Amino acid sequence: KAGVTQTPRYLIKTRGQQVTLSCSPISGHRSVSWYQQTPGQGLQFLFEYFSETQRNKGNFPGRFSGRQFSNSRSEMNVSTLELGDSALYLCASSWGTGGDTQYFGPGTRLTVL
Partner 1 sequence: KQEVTQIPAALSVPEGENLVLNCSFTDSAIYNLQWFRQDPGKGLTSLLLIQSSQREQTSGRLNASLDKSSGRSTLYIAASQPGDSATYLCAVCDDKIIFGKGTRLHILP
Give dist(CA 70, CA 54) in Å, integer: 13
Nearer to partner 1, 58 or 79 (CB): 58
Helices (H), the chain: none
Binding mask 45-84 for partner 1 (x = CB under 8 A): x--x-------x-x--------------------------
Footprint of partner 1 (CB under 8 A) = 4, 33, 35, 42-45, 48, 56, 58, 88, 90, 92, 98-99, 101-107, 109
